[in-house]
Amino acid sequence: MASLQDVSKVFEKGSRTVKALDGVSFTVNRGEAVGLLGPNGSGKTTTVRILLGLRKATSGRASVSAGKVGFVLDLPALYPQLTLARNLEFYADLLQVPRSAIDRRLGDVGLRGEAESRVGELSLGMKKRAEIARALLTDPDLLLLDEPTSGLDPEAQAALRAVLRAEVERGVSILMTSHDLYNVQKVCGRVLVLRHGRLVADEPAANLDPAGLEALYLHAMGRPA
């Protein structure tokens, strides 16, 4: 579905260079949900952007073999001045998806009643769910999610987890970056940890209880559990 083979990415920042990714390799298989953990600046967002073609790998190879890819960046895609329905109509047309998908996906994320609300007037949790609805419009085979739960209250996080788990049960592959160990463990079957652009852990989530996941993360960060 999605794979990185020895991918490195170097950014030029003025006179200095920053290595955002350093020889990262992993594959997200069909129907697999993978959580990508790591502190700020570890290369999570760069990984997602490389898979979406928004960044070019300095070396190595990134490929996506999924037919349809849905994604949520850590930045909004919806125009605050327009209603949720108008926004989704625009993206449905752009992605050549029947408009009937809008009502179905708004129902999936519990926002059918907000279709005629301006996006700017929605709460943060509603906006995040709206972004998920947008990403699901095409019935994607692969979902790339960058920090989908950040800034959400526990109730909104639970609603989002339910939506994502339903997609995994439907056979959708997911690569989800997060700082939130709990949400990753509840949604994903496998956990990757990035540190300073290097992949330092790759474990099945089934092997880890919440304490085990925290211990894995802290160990990967070079700190005692």
Partner 1 sequence: MIGILVRKELRLLTATSAVALVLDVLLVGLGLSAVMTLGRLQALAGVPQGGDRFALFAVLSFGLASMFLSLTGPTALLERTTGILDNQLGMVASPRPLLVAKAVVLVGLAWASLVLWTGVGVAWAAATGQEFVPAGAWGRSLLVVAVLYPAAVALLSLCHVFVGYMVPKLAPIANIGLFAVTFVLFSNLVNLSGSLSAWSRWDLAATTGVVLAVVAGLVWLMGIVSKERMADP
| Interface residues toward partner 1, by CB under 8 A | 49, 52-56, 71, 73-82, 86, 90-91, 93-95
Write down the least CB distance from residue 138 to partner 1, Å: 10
Beta strands in the chain (DSSP E): 2-13, 16-28, 33-37, 59-64, 69-72, 142-146, 173-178, 190-195, 198-204
| Smaller CB separation from partner 1, 6 or 93 | 93
Write down the least CB distance from residue 162 to partner 1, Å: 24
Write down the least CB distance from residue 20 to partner 1, Å: 12
Write down the least CB distance from residue 54 to partner 1, Å: 5
Write down the least CB distance from residue 207 to partner 1, Å: 33
Beta sheet of 173-178, edge-to-edge order: 69-72, 142-146, 173-178, 33-37, 190-195, 198-204
Contact of 2 with 64, CB cutoff 8 Å: yes
Bridge partners, 177 (sequence order): 36, 146
| Smaller CB separation from partner 1, 135 or 191 | 135
| Smaller CB separation from partner 1, 78 or 216 | 78
| Smaller CB separation from partner 1, 84 or 220 | 84
| Smaller CB separation from partner 1, 57 or 163 | 57
d(CA 53, CA 73) in angstroms, rounded, equals 13
Write down the least CB distance from residue 108 to partner 1, Å: 20
| Smaller CB separation from partner 1, 95 or 115 | 95
d(CA 53, CA 64) in angstroms, rounded, equals 10
Q: Is 159 left (phi over 0), alpha (psi -120 to 50) or beta?
A: alpha
